[in-house]
């Protein structure tokens, strides 16, 4: 289990690690793809932000598995919504994705 809530020292440390991760080749490769992890829309790499899937304040850590590229709108939604509302938002995104896949040329390749 993770410590919860983390103390200020841990948060500072994890934020510093996030800054380092943002400079890494791994991160550059991720944003070079230009896709938001959540809504799947395409963005210029500079508009993608590093987002912690499990927020640091909820016990998440700065690891490659917990850091994803997110567009500004998903990022601000995530910050303004309650965890439950955010989950509902993600579910809606997935449903929309499913619908658009179904409607896009069902016969193609
Ligand atoms: Zn997004």
CB atoms under 10 Å from CB of 46, counted, come to 8
| Residues with C-beta atoms within 5 A of ion ligand 1 | 36, 38-39, 71, 74
Residue 82 CA, ligand 1 centroid: distance in Å: 17
% pLDDT > 90, the chain:
73
Classify residue 46: in a domain, yes or no.
yes
**Segments forming the whole domain that contains residue 55:** 8-88
Overall domain count for the chain: 1
**Confidence (pTM):** 0.81
Classify residue 72: in a domain, yes or no.
yes
Classify residue 100: in a domain, yes or no.
no
Residue 2 CA, ligand 1 centroid: distance in Å: 27
The CATH number that applies at residue 82 is: 1.10.30.50
Classify residue 103: in a domain, yes or no.
no
Residue 41 CA, ligand 1 centroid: distance in Å: 6
Rounded-to-integer distance, Cα 13 and Cα 36, Å: 25
Classify residue 108: in a domain, yes or no.
no
pLDDT at 2 > cutoff 60: no
50-72 pLDDT, tens per residue? 999 999 988 899 999 999 999 99
Residue 94 CA, ligand 1 centroid: distance in Å: 12
């Amino acid at each position: 289990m993770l410590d919860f809530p983390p103390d200020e020292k841990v948060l500072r440390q994890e934020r510093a690690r996030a800054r380092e991760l943002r400079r890494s080749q791994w991160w550059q490769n991720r944003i070079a793809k230009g896709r938001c992890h959540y809504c799947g829309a395409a963005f210029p790499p500079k508009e993608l932000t590093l987002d912690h899937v499990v927020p640091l304040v909820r016990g998440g850590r700065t690891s490659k598995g917990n850091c994803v590229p997110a567009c500004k709108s998903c990022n601000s939604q995530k910050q303004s919504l309650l965890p439950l509302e955010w989950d509902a938002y993600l579910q809606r995104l997935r449903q929309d994705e499913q619908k658009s896949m179904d409607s896009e040329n069902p016969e193609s390749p």
